[in-house]
């Protein structure tokens, strides 16, 4: 596996604790209490469970404003519309759900802030699919108010980029800045338990050297959960997506860096293997015989005129890194990503406020 490490990196280590601009103090930590993993209380599923709890008493009297629609099937878009709609009872149910969820998120956040790894955290960015809604933004704001009322000196802000884009944009910060002096874009991959998203991220350094103007030029999404592929089938499909994007980029005249940045669930080891946390991916990605970076380099040995380098890190870390240009006024900051589970990472800037 040492050979694979040399072969797939060269610009940075997989799962590194020290990146060009930040130290990663912790990621993917699993805090527990008597009821189990506390992160489970601040997930998309937890929000739906709370919504169901508030619907139950109304359902008994036949006055549930949502009718027979299962709580897990009600879209965020509909819930957002109900918040400002004329149905006061339905709106009250959604507001009650937001309040309860904010209390849960405040409890979880409090536990992180009291842990050694998150000591002296000044700001928390909240990402994940839940953030992409008005009800998510309200829950985040309410959580911040709860914590400040308890004298926690903490800012909680929604992630700036769309969560789908943030998981790709953050990959820029896995590589040293000098690599972008001769290139204007990078290939990025965001692997999740339901989807695999690949994209071409433009640095737009001519507009902002700190990469704060970076954006996704083009992306492709594969909802692998619908197809139930084998691990080998998933890698084969991923390779095809990457080759298609490379071809489109070259046709458009983009100067792709010879780097593929990958965001992946779990604890990423320096050799590119996954220690734990990848149980929702198709097949066994935690096998000692499987190495995604090595597999991709075998399939895509060169990008343009240069050998391909691959850097892989935890998906919560990468999503958080998309915010790095906007975190220069603080020293220590973290990210919580609310999705199927609760992703987390804590960063210390290597420059800026001391």
pLDDT of residue 340: 80
pLDDT of residue 153: 94
At 176-208, the pLDDT tens digits run: 989 999 999 999 999 998 899 999 999 999 999
pLDDT of residue 16: 93
Q: Where are the domains of the chain?
A: 2-22+162-326, 32-158
pLDDT of residue 339: 85
| Domain 2-22+162-326 architecture | 2-Layer Sandwich (3.30)
pLDDT of residue 312: 97
| CA angle (351, 352, 354) in 5-degree steps | 95
pLDDT of residue 3: 43
Residues in the chain where the model's pLDDT stays below 70: 1-10, 352-354
The structure's pTM equals 0.91
pLDDT of residue 349: 96
At 293-333, the pLDDT tens digits run: 999 999 999 999 999 999 999 999 999 999 999 999 999 99
């Amino acid at each position: 596996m040492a050979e694979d490490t040399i072969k797939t990196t060269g610009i940075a280590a997989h799962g590194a604790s020290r990146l060009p601009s930040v130290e990663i103090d912790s990621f993917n930590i699993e805090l527990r209490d008597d009821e189990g993993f506390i992160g489970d209380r601040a997930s998309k599923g937890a929000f739906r469970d709370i919504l169901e709890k508030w619907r139950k008493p109304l359902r008994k009297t036949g006055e549930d404003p949502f009718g027979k629609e299962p709580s897990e099937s009600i879209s965020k878009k509909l819930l957002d519309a109900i918040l400002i709609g004329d149905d006061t009872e339905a709106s009250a149910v959604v507001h009650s759900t937001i309040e309860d969820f904010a209390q849960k998120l405040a409890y979880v956040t409090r536990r992180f802030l009291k842990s050694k790894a998150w000591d002296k955290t000044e700001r928390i960015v909240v990402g994940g699919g839940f953030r992409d809604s008005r009800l998510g933004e309200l829950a985040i704001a309410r959580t911040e108010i709860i914590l400040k009322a308890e004298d926690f000196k903490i800012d909680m802000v929604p992630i700036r980029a769309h969560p789908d884009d943030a998981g790709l944009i953050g990959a820029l910060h896995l590589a040293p800045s000098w690599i972008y002096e001769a290139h204007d874009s990078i290939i990025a991959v965001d692997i999740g338990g339901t989807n695999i998203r690949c994209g071409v991220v433009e640095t737009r350094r001519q507009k902002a050297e700190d990469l704060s103007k970076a954006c996704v030029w083009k992306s492709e999404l594969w909802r692998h959960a619908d197809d139930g592929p084998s691990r080998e089938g998933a890698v084969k499909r991923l390779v095809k997506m990457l080759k298609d994007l490379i071809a489109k980029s070259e046709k458009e005249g983009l100067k792709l860096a010879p780097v593929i940045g990958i965001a992946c669930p779990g604890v990423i080891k320096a050799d590119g293997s996954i220690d734990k946390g990848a149980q929702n991916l198709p097949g066994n990605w935690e096998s000692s015989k499987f190495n995604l970076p090595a597999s991709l380099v075998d399939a895509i040995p060169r990008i343009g005129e240069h050998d391909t380098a691959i850097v892989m890190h935890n998906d919560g870390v990468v999503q958080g890194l998309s915010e790095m240009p906007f975190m220069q006024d603080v020293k220590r900051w973290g990210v919580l990503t609310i999705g199927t589970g609760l992703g987390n990472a804590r960063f210390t800037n290597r420059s800026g406020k001391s």
